[in-house]
Amino acid sequence: MAGIVVIFDFDRTIIDSDSDNWVVTEMGLTPLFNELRSSMPWNSLMDRMMMELHSQGKTVSDIGECLKRAFIQPGIITAIKSAFALGCDLRIISDANQFFVKTILQHHGVLGCFSHISTNPSYVDEEGKLRIFPYHDLNLPPHGCNLCPSNMCKGFVIDQIRVSASESERRRFIYIGDGTGDFCPSLKLRSEDFVMPRKDFPLWKHIHSNKKLIKAQIHEWSNGEELEKALLHIINTIST
Ligand SMILES: [Mg+2]
Ligand SMILES: [Zn+2]
């Protein structure tokens, strides 16, 4: 459906776990992670974790194999494919990183459904090591949003999507997420938009304790099948 922008968070929304925590736990990095946690910004810490894996002889493809095992609930992949088939513009705004997000979406055959993925950048360097950096360059002036972590304001990304649309092009947003970082973008939504918080997760709690601040219509979901049903219902409602 032209004019509908569906924005997905990634961790605990598309995949059932947090991809950073998944890799740390599954690849045996928990003790080092806990030791360094309080002394480093999150992205630097994840970059350091990747360095640790490489120093143990693990490769980028080992990390990829670990990511491919992350569980996705039934309904999520079909929801993505259906929304794409209906002509919606699908996007991801995630505080994970490019490599983690793209590896998992590709594995499940839906990477091509997304027009944009806004997340912390990553690349494989000349030595074959995976490097992870903040979305918002920490050497630049701060993004100025006190709701969001210093490396990424998801509401800022929503503002950018809005300004990229021409005046005549009226777009309606459907935002799907679970975490505290999804509250700022939810506040940017308008009355013709929709927010889909995962029930009993932090975003849902923030929304329910600040209902007057939310202009968008709220549709909660608990599992993949509910997400699929609610999302397709909203798309159908907008289209008719
Ligand atoms: Mg999340
Ligand atoms: Zn923000």
Q: What is the model's pLDDT at position 163?
A: 87
The pLDDT score that the predictor gives to residue 164 is: 83
Give catalytic status of residue 193 as yes or no.
Answer: no
Q: CA–CA separation, 95 vs 117, rounded Å?
A: 11
Q: Decide: 33 and 197 in contact? Cβ < 8 Å.
A: no
Q: What is the pLDDT of residue 240?
A: 85
Ligand nearest to the CA of 180: 1
> What residues are paired with 89 via a beta bridge?
5
Name the token pair of 233: 């219902």
Whether residue 89 is annotated as binding a ligand: the answer is no
Ligand nearest to the CA of 159: 2
Q: Which residues contact 235 (CB under 8 A, 6 or more apart)?
A: 1, 4, 6, 83, 86, 88, 174
The C-alpha atoms of residue 226 and residue 200 are separated, in whole angstroms, by: 14
3: left (phi over 0), alpha (psi -120 to 50) or beta: left
The reported pLDDT for the residue numbered 170 is: 80
- How would you write the pLDDT of the chain (240 residues) with one tens digit per residue? 669 999 999 999 999 999 999 999 999 999 999 999 999 999 999 999 999 999 999 999 999 999 999 999 999 999 999 999 999 999 999 999 999 999 999 999 999 999 999 999 999 999 999 999 999 998 899 999 999 999 999 999 999 998 887 666 789 999 999 999 999 999 999 999 999 999 999 999 999 999 999 999 999 999 999 999 999 999 999 988
Superfamily of domain 4-16+72-119+137-239 in CATH is HAD superfamily/HAD-like (3.40.50.1000)
Question: Which ligand has the nearest atom to the CA of 8?
Answer: 1
Backbone angles phi, psi at 198, to 5 degrees: -75, 125
Q: What pLDDT does residue 166 have?
A: 67
Would residue 11 show up in a list of annotated catalytic residues for this protein?
yes
Compute the distance between CA of residue 235 and CA of residue 88 in angstroms, rounded to an integer: 8
Domain boundaries, the chain: 4-16+72-119+137-239
- Per-residue pLDDT at 168: 64
For ligand 1, the distance from its centroid to the CA atom of residue 207, given in whole angstroms, is: 15
The greatest distance separating any two alpha carbons of the chain, rounded to the nearest whole angstrom, comes to: 56
**Spacing, Cα 191 to ligand 1 middle (Å):** 23
| 39 alpha carbon – ligand 2 mean position (Å) | 23
Neighbours of 194 (CB within 10 A): 22
125 is in an annotated binding site: no
Give me the pLDDT at residue 167, please. 62
For residue 202, the CA-to-ligand 2 centroid distance in Å is 15
- 179 alpha carbon to ligand 1 midpoint, in Å? 5
Confirm or deny that 182 is annotated as ligand binding: no
Catalytic residue among 9, 89, 182, 193: 9
